[in-house]
Homo-oligomer: A and B are copies of this chain.
Amino acid sequence: MSATQVNIAIIGAGGVGKSFLSQLQTLAARRPTPKLNLVYFSTSKKAVYKPDYSPIPFESAIQELGSATSAPLALPKVVEYLAAAPYKTVLVDNTSSQDVADTYPAFLSSGISIVTPNKKAFSGSYKLWQDIFTAASASGAKVYHESSVGAGLPVISTLKDLVDTGDEVTKIEGVFSGTMSFLFNSFAPLEGSGGNWSAEVKKAKELGYTEPDPRDDLNGLDVARKLTILARLAGLPVESPTSFPVQSLIPQALESVASGDEFLQRLPEFDSEMEGTKAAAEKQGKVVRFVGSIDVATKAVKVGLEMFDRSHPIAALKGSDNIISFYTKRYGSNPLIIQGAGAGGDVTAMGVTGDLLKVLSQI
């Protein structure tokens, strides 16, 4: 049976980190075993931890971190500190930091399990991917990252189950970005005509659906990272998120303007181009959407604009929802589809908490 006490170390205290901590508190109250000891809690600026590993109470953790004065330990020191702790430890990486991701193999080699929404670890270099899973396999430590694609939607667990039970995944296709989903569901809706492209981008930013600089969504890299993760899980040794075609929606002339604000100000100059794309789709009775797809047989991974029949589930998506379709040998002509909110603190944290429960049942 499982351990009686388990240490938890959390890096990151943004939106996801705060939601996770709140879920963890509920969890700890409802399930006394194993007892969860928060032994390390840090941001990139500061940290709370005790040399004797005495646990930080969940309910005051945010406050203690807020008033903390110690800088965080250097990452190799975090590995050392946690490896020397009594009981097994789970690291919860609620950052999107490449540095933390690069340290995963060291954590795992020291027997520290990891749960995380951090895409960087699994969509960086293929070598890092291999190092992570080799280290986990050698030490028996677990690593789960459900929320790295589609937030709390059961995307990664489903793909793993398909592969592990011997199904043959032939194609994966979907809308993987809440921002892109919102933009295209508003710009080219099934009912009505939608607004100008630049106006929709502006609105999305005002509603908080984009990164501070909307170009960080429009360049397609976030989707490319998610596709990289899924393609690798499906067995394709994708080298990096820049090793396959990714269509950027940033007009070339605006790639190097200084700020997101200037970008938004000049974007209307390029509305006619997107309007043309929308009209071309409409002419065929279709709608345009920003999707990612993986054709496993031909090893073709790509990200960009595609046209879909109005009756296609991708066309009918609403709000900022994600949709992911798995075409497999067993499922035949109709794919297995998963759909719903793919971004937001609470649902992202839910994927992390669910992963933590999986790890706790195994260590």
Instruction: Indicate whether A361 reaches chain B with its CB closer than 8 angstroms.
Output: yes
Question: In A310-363, which residues have CB < 8 Å from any B CB?
Answer: 311, 313, 316, 318-319, 321, 326, 330-341, 344, 346-347, 350, 353-354, 357, 361-362
Query: Which of A166, A190, A344 gathers most chain B CB within 10 Å?
Result: A166
The residue on B at minimum CB distance from A335 is B340
The residue on B at minimum CB distance from A323 is B337
Instruction: Indicate whether A269 reaches chain B with its CB closer than 8 angstroms.
Output: no
The residue on B at minimum CB distance from A22 is B166
Contact of A23 among B166, B316, B338 (CB under 8 A): B166
Contact of A350 among B26, B161, B318 (CB under 8 A): B161
Bound Cα distance from A73 to B228, whole angstroms: 51
Decide: A336 near B330, CB < 8 A? Known: A27-B166, A158-B154: no
- Are A154 and B161 within 8 A (Cβ)? yes
Decide: A341 near B331, CB < 8 A? Known: A154-B161, A166-B27, A353-B165: yes
Q: Which residues of B contact A335 (CB under 8 A)?
A: 340
Decide: A339 near B340, CB < 8 A? Known: A165-B357, A166-B27, A350-B167: no
Instruction: Indicate whether A98 reaches chain B with its CB closer than 8 angstroms.
Output: no
Could you mark each residue 156-173 of chain A with 1 if its beta carbon is under 8 Å from any beta carbon of chain B, else 0? Answer: 011001101111000000
Q: Which residues of B contact A161 (CB under 8 A)?
A: 152, 154, 350, 354, 357
Q: Which residues of B contact A326 (CB under 8 A)?
A: 340
Q: Which residues of B contact A157 (CB under 8 A)?
A: 154, 157
- Are A339 and B336 within 8 A (Cβ)? yes
Could you mark each residue 10-46 of chain A with 1 if its beta carbon is under 8 Å from any beta carbon of chain B, else 0? Answer: 0000000000000100110010000000000000000
Decide: A340 near B334, CB < 8 A? Known: A311-B316, A353-B166, A362-B362: yes
Q: Closest CB of chain B to A360's CB: distance in Å?
A: 10
Q: Can you pick out 18 interface pairs between chain A and chain B where the beta carbons lie within 8 Å of each other? A: A26-B166, A27-B166, A152-B165, A161-B350, A161-B354, A165-B354, A318-B334, A319-B333, A319-B334, A330-B346, A330-B347, A331-B341, A331-B347, A334-B340, A335-B340, A336-B338, A337-B338, A338-B339
Residues of A within 8 A of B (CB): 1, 23, 26-27, 30, 140, 152-154, 157-158, 161-162, 164-167, 190-191, 311, 313, 316, 318-319, 321, 326, 330-341, 344, 346-347, 350, 353-354, 357, 361-362
